[in-house]
């Protein structure tokens, strides 16, 4: 449990709420939710939720809204796609729709092909894919857990197209 001196070392989205501090015997998946209000709601509904399934649903339904492109990207699939780009060169790799969607073209100013790590870094920074506080939960998650108020953590993908890159390997989760 955090003390007053080390509490500020915990990243803001994950700092325990007062309610969390009273539930010392809780499932670890609750502590990894970056929304304090949602953590408190889950604590109050612990008897009604299969927390192992809830943790899995949370990971699989994290999205990152990209307003510039009017899309919501599933975080796990996006990071699997980015990892695939890093692990292979363009000659070895099959077509990757994420590369095209994020404008990760092979050349920069027609001088030379970009190295994969530079393309990934540039896309992550440009679309703020590394900003935890901007991650949301998909509409599918909201539909599965209608008793939770997801006002602060639900994607705006009602306005965006949700992109599913389902051909990427999910083994990285398990």
pLDDT of 89 reads 62
pLDDT digits (tens, 9 = 90+) for 55-84: 999 999 999 888 888 888 888 888 888 888
Reported pTM: 0.76
- Per DSSP, the residues of 44-97 read HTGGGS-HHHHHHHHHHTEEEEETTTTEEEEHHHHHHHHHHHHHS-TTTSPP-H
pLDDT of 53 reads 95
Q: How confident is the model at residue 173 (pLDDT cuts 50, 70, 90)?
A: very low
Q: How far apart are CA 15 and CA 33, in angstroms?
A: 10
Q: How confident is the model at residue 170 (pLDDT cuts 50, 70, 90)?
A: very low
């Amino acid at each position: 449990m955090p003390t007053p001196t080390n509490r500020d070392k915990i990243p803001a989205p994950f700092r325990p709420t007062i309610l969390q501090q009273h539930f010392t015997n809780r499932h670890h998946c609750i502590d990894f939710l970056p929304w304090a209000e949602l953590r408190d709601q889950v604590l109050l509904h612990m008897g009604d939720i299969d927390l192992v399934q809830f943790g899995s649903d949370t990971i699989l339904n994290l999205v990152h809204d990209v307003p510039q492109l009017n899309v919501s990207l599933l975080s796990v699939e996006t990071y699997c796609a980015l990892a695939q780009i890093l692990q292979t060169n363009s000659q070895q790799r099959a077509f990757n729709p994420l590369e095209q969607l994020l404008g990760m073209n092979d050349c920069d100013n027609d001088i030379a092909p970009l190295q994969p790590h530079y393309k990934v870094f540039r896309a992550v920074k440009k679309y703020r894919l590394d900003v935890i506080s901007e991650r949301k939960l998909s509409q599918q998650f909201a539909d599965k857990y209608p008793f939770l108020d997801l006002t602060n953590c639900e994607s705006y993908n009602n306005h965006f197209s949700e992109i599913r890159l389902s051909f990427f390997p999910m083994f990285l989760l398990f």
